[in-house]
Amino acid sequence: MKKSIETNHAPKAIGPYSQGICANGFVFTSGQLALDPMTGEFVGEDITEQTRQCLKNVKAILEEAGLTMDQVVKTTVFLKDMNDFAEMNKVYSEFFKEGNYPSRSAVQVARLPKDGLVEIEVIALQ
């Protein structure tokens, strides 16, 4: 069974997709940009601020599903510039506890929606 997740504490979908989906014991979030949920505008102009907002948005979606960041098993990080990896990683480590890190892929992409610097999606276990 599949159930859509919607919350006002994360940006509304900017296309024909859901913020998240619960299915077969997992929660899959759509990629989250550094958008303020209230204004729809980017938070911050650097990778540190944008990474933090992306992860706050992910956290809000998981909380709507009754989950925490501790239940994340896989993340995918899309970066506009791989030179931002170290700074992104510092902020990322604020959201995940040592000993309970999810698996992760991080890739540089040619362009992100709305010209963001970072986009993050996760898979969590219910």
| Per-residue pLDDT tens digits for 53-109 | 999 999 999 999 999 999 999 999 999 999 999 999 999 999 999 999 999 999 999
Q: Where are the chain's structural domains?
A: 2-125
CA dist 37 and 11 (Å) reads 4
pLDDT band of residue 125 (cuts 50, 70, 90) is very high
- Spelled out in words, what is the top-level CATH class assigned to the domain 2-125? alpha beta
| High-pLDDT (> 90) share of the chain, % | 95
